[in-house]
A and B are shown apart, each in its own frame.
Chain A
Amino acid sequence: MAVWEQILIGAGALLILFLFWPGVNRMAKESPKGTREDWLGFAKPMAAVILFVIVLILLARA
């Protein structure tokens, strides 16, 4: 990647951070807070996804 391209992409990343941060920050503050049960209900499918990806990698290596 050329230096000018690296600089442009870096500047673009900063611009995206500048544009999106207020909305993301507001969303993080205004989102309803989950209970322990809510997070458990989220952790179970996430654990299944992690397990599935590990199995997928092992199958591809076999």
Chain B
Amino acid sequence: MSTERLATVSRARSAIDTNKVVRNTYALLSLTLLFSALTAGVSMALNLPHPGLLITLVGYFGLLFLTSKLRNSVWGLVSVFALTGFMGLTLGPIISAYLTMFSNGAQLVAMALGGTGAIFLGLSGYALTTRKDFSFLGGFIMVGILVAFLAGIGAAIFSLPGLSLAVSAMFVLLMSALILWETSNLVNGGEDNYIMATVALYVSIYNLFTSLLHLLGAFAGEE
């Protein structure tokens, strides 16, 4: 076989592998979002209280580390469902609070959900169709998330609603950038593990939804 033919076969195989990762990622993302919606619905139906910031953070980072460790085994799938199910459980009481706190709570939740879907589809479509390489955003996004996360913790500890609102606005932009970056990584072959790709996209959708809900509640909520 000539070198040219070998290169063509190798490129075709690489494209098939990339398509497989993209397909698996979106299939797993759909399932985890459905599972998360189910656990959120269960926690709302049972009127479960919010576990608090401490348990939320311990559960989230614990399951995130576990998923990262198990990403190359079938147990990674179990772990990713545990993570997204847990996130759904923490989301239920937040939605319940918005529904009871604001007279237009149902409208705010529906708009945040629709807005999240529109942003995710729009940005994924942009990255998938243009096939632009957004790998240069990696450092910027990670530093931004770390800074926003610490500012969010500071806002929660010292009860600073203004800072908390600024963090939500930052998170909307950072999660949008994360969707572009991860989708670009998927199409350009930079990400070959669909479990970790699913976690990144799920976390961006979750944070986008909660941040939009916070902004909508602050600027358009009717108590």
Binding site for B on A (CB under 8 A): 1, 5-6, 8-10, 12-13, 16-17, 20-21, 23-24, 27-34, 38, 41-42, 45-46, 48-50, 52-53, 56-57, 59-61
Contact = CB atoms under 8 A, between A and B. Distances in A.
B180 A52 contact: no
A49 B149 CA distance: 21
A56 B149 CA distance: 24
B156 A1 contact: yes
A42 B146 CA distance: 20
B132 interface: yes
12 contacts: A24-B139, A24-B143, A28-B140, A29-B139, A33-B136, A38-B133, A41-B130, A45-B123, A52-B115, A60-B104, A60-B108, A61-B219
Given A6-B157, A9-B157, A57-B220, A38 B176 contact: no
B172 A49 contact: yes
B26 interface: no
A56 B177 contact: no
A16 B107 CA distance: 36
Given A16-B149, A42-B180, A31 B136 contact: yes
A41 B180 CA distance: 11
Contacts of A9: 53-54, 57, 153, 156-157
B146 A10 contact: no
Contacts of A33: 136
Given A1-B157, A34-B137, A56-B111, A12 B57 contact: yes
Q: Majority SS of interface residues in chain A?
A: helix
A48 B58 CA distance: 35
Lowest 9 A-B CB distances belong to which pairs? A28-B139, A34-B136, A60-B220, A31-B139, A31-B138, A13-B153, A24-B142, A61-B220, A49-B176
Given A49-B123, A52-B119, A53-B172, A60 B134 contact: no
